[in-house]
A and B are shown apart, each in its own frame.
Chain A
Amino acid sequence: MVTILFDGIAYGMLLFVLACGLTVTMGLMNFINLSHGAFALAGGYVTAALTQKAGLPFLLCLPLAFLFSAVLGMLAEKLLYRRLYQRSHLDQVLFTIGIVFMTVAAVDYLIGSQQQSIHLPAWLRVRLDLLGGSIGVYRLFIIVLCGILALAIQWLLSHTRFGSQLRASVDDPRVARGLGIPVNQVFAVTFALGCGLAGLGGALGADLLGMDPTFPIKFMIYFLIVVTVGGTSGIMGTFFAALLLGIADVAGKYYVPQIGAFVIYALMVAVLILRPQGLFTRGGSR
């Protein structure tokens, strides 16, 4: 019981880090982006390559994965995604699905379809007995790290100048521009940060979730569920949605394995029927 809850929380935390960039682009900027998983894939593969081939320590690889995905995200935003902010939702869906298909096939072609494994240091592979359950240190590490990240992101959004600029740009880009906020740059930085976080999530999650070329398609639905269920109230909604989803998925797979992933899809559809805008909504805009 404790183990399941613990695993669920770790899983949920991972989903949060993976999806929180998407919350801003999709939930707040109203840009439907199905290709978010591609950046997580990049992070996971970079970490796998660095730990296996170059033999770098795992902890050093995490910031590198973040940086790599963030730079990739920034380039992609500048070159491609920026053109699509004002387009119809159909265009956005088509374009981002296209990117996903290309990524999956290209990674398969260049690196191969086998699952990537990440070399974890020995101290992370221990299991502890705690509160009557068996707990993996790696999961504890994930929970602590992602918890700190969540607090940091929340602080960044609500207590810094950049955070208020971002909120202003999202609420009303025209007025924000009129006030002298560099809206395009704010969006670019946000997009890059979100992609970086996805890369970090991919690096952290490669061991738990499995990292192969189909990762962006397999987990696309999870990210989307987290974002839509979390609603548009900001990062905390996403956080709770991710935890809920993580726990429900792990518990569902453990207690009723016959119906498997059915649990979370049903949960999502139920939430969307009752609250079409997500669990946590913000009054006012849109």
Chain B
Amino acid sequence: MTHSVENAMAMMTRTTRWSHWETLFWLASLALLPLFPNKALLFSQIAIMGLFALSLDLILGYAGIVSLGHAAFFGVGAYVAGLMAKHGWGDPTLGLLAAASGAALIGFVTSFLLLRGSDLTRLMVTLGIALMLFEAANRFASITGGADGLQGMMVKPVLGLFSFDLFGKTAYLYSLTILFLLLILARRIVYSPFGLSLRAVKANSLRAGAIGISSATRLVAIYTISAAYAGVAGALSAQTTQLVSLDVLDFHRSADVMLVLVIGGVGWLYGGIIGAIIFSLMQDWLAGITPQYWEFWIGLVLVVLVLVGHGRLQSYARMLIHAITHKGRVAHPDQRGTS
């Protein structure tokens, strides 16, 4: 009896422990800046996309909510930060906090719509909310700038010390720091008892209810957190590019972020970041060949991923990582399956 409890605890600490490759990963991401100083803007975009995909991972990977409208929160965050910078409150940290709160508020309110119904209903409701926000931003062009985008943003230096430069050095370090901090926080969340109960709800909400886990409060909480994350990503994008247009709420953004996450792998937090790196490299390479029809290749990647089975590809990749980092130890097969 106690033996099995010890075993379980050992397994859990093993999966939650900060491993070597993670340290390596973050050091490498810092080292990118001196190595490729003129690509810093691109790197900051990747970091932001990674954060956005991480926010989707929180609900898709850990709570099983298939959302086709996650751009809604990205867009809300971007507009909140953009409007604040336009009207004199250009302090980035303040902007991030306000964007997170704004997006979290919308996420909290709309999360109640997701508690009932099937996957399909959830899909439709998330999509519908994103479309409604898109229409609203389009209609109130006097506030949002409509299709032309928000004009005249004045973003102040980060913490009053580091001003944004043309080459994006500050932008990259700023985005990377926020991404790192939020990833640590996300680790705390998903490995906490709350995070474990979320997985229970995802696996079987009926049984989770039977052992006293209220699935409704769990879903509301994680959806709100995820919305706040997406809002921060949107705010970072607005602040680093000094540009917000209707594009932030577009359907394409919701679909792209899902692709990013699926490429990197659903349900292990780093999936979004890895996916963002691969996605950006792919975009760079393919857009060089056929700039106009780049969508075709996105579509092809999606189709192939599903036909081959993204779960299978990723379990190979994970086994490879395990084999490299834990030499000799047997890699643990993943129980999450293909979805």
Contacts and interface: CB of A to CB of B under 8 A. Distances in A.
Interface string B288-324: 0000111110111111011100100000000000000
A276 B125 CA distance: 10
A227 B68 CA distance: 17
Given A260-B139, A276-B116, A98 B306 contact: yes
A272 B125 contact: yes
B83 interface: no
A266 B66 contact: no
A221 interface: yes
Contacts of A221: 127-128, 131
Binding site secondary structure of chain A: helix
A208 to B, nearest CB: 21
Interface in B101-133: 113, 116-121, 123-125, 127-129, 131-132
A262 B302 contact: no
Contacts of B258: 93-94, 97
Nearest to B133: A265
A225 interface: yes
A262 B139 contact: yes
A189 interface: no
Contacts of A104: 295
Interface string A192-227: 000000000000000000000000010001001100
B302 A89 contact: no
A261 B131 contact: yes
Contacts of A159: none
- Identify which of A224, A260, A266, A269 gathers the most chain B CB atoms within 10 Å of its CB: A269
Q: How large is the interface on A (under 10, 10 to 19, 20 to 34, 35 or more residues)?
A: 35 or more
Interface string B311-339: 00000000000000000000000000011
A217 B128 CA distance: 14
B120 A101 contact: no
Contacts of A224: 123-124, 127
B127 A277 contact: no
B112 to A, nearest CB: 9
A7 to B, nearest CB: 21
A228 B124 contact: yes
A276 B139 contact: no
Given A109-B293, A225-B124, A265 B132 contact: yes
14 contacts: A26-B120, A88-B338, A90-B266, A90-B339, A95-B302, A98-B305, A102-B296, A102-B303, A103-B299, A221-B131, A224-B123, A262-B132, A262-B136, A272-B117
Contacts, number: 130
Interface string A75-118: 00000100110011111011101111111111011000000000
Interface in A256-271: 258-262, 265-266, 268-269
B259 to A, nearest CB: 7
Contacts of A84: 306
A101 B293 CA distance: 10
Contact of A102 (B131, B135, B299, B307): B299
B119 A32 contact: yes
B78 interface: no
A281 to B, nearest CB: 11
Q: Which 7 pairs of residues, A with B, have the shortest CB-CB distance?
A: A98-B302, A276-B117, A101-B299, A105-B296, A102-B299, A88-B339, A98-B303
Contacts of B310: 91
A179 interface: no
A262 B139 CA distance: 10
Given A89-B120, A221-B131, A262-B135, A105 B66 contact: no
Interface of A: 26, 30, 32, 80, 83-84, 87-91, 93-95, 97-106, 108-109, 217, 221, 224-225, 228, 258-262, 265-266, 268-269, 272-273, 276-277
Given A109-B293, A262-B132, A95 B117 contact: no
A84 B302 CA distance: 13
Given A101-B296, A101-B298, A266-B132, A91 B125 contact: no
A267 B266 CA distance: 33
Contacts of A99: 299, 303
Nearest to B132: A265
A258 B119 CA distance: 32
Nearest to B297: A105
A89 B113 contact: no
A26 B125 CA distance: 16
B255 interface: yes
A32 B120 contact: yes
A272 B113 CA distance: 8
Contacts of B301: 98
Contact of A106 (B68, B120, B262, B296): B296
A235 B338 CA distance: 33
Nearest to A84: B306
Contacts of B294: 105
B307 A265 contact: no
A95 to B, nearest CB: 4
A168 to B, nearest CB: 22
Interface string B54-76: 00000010000010100000000
Contact of B123 (A87, A93, A98, A262): A93
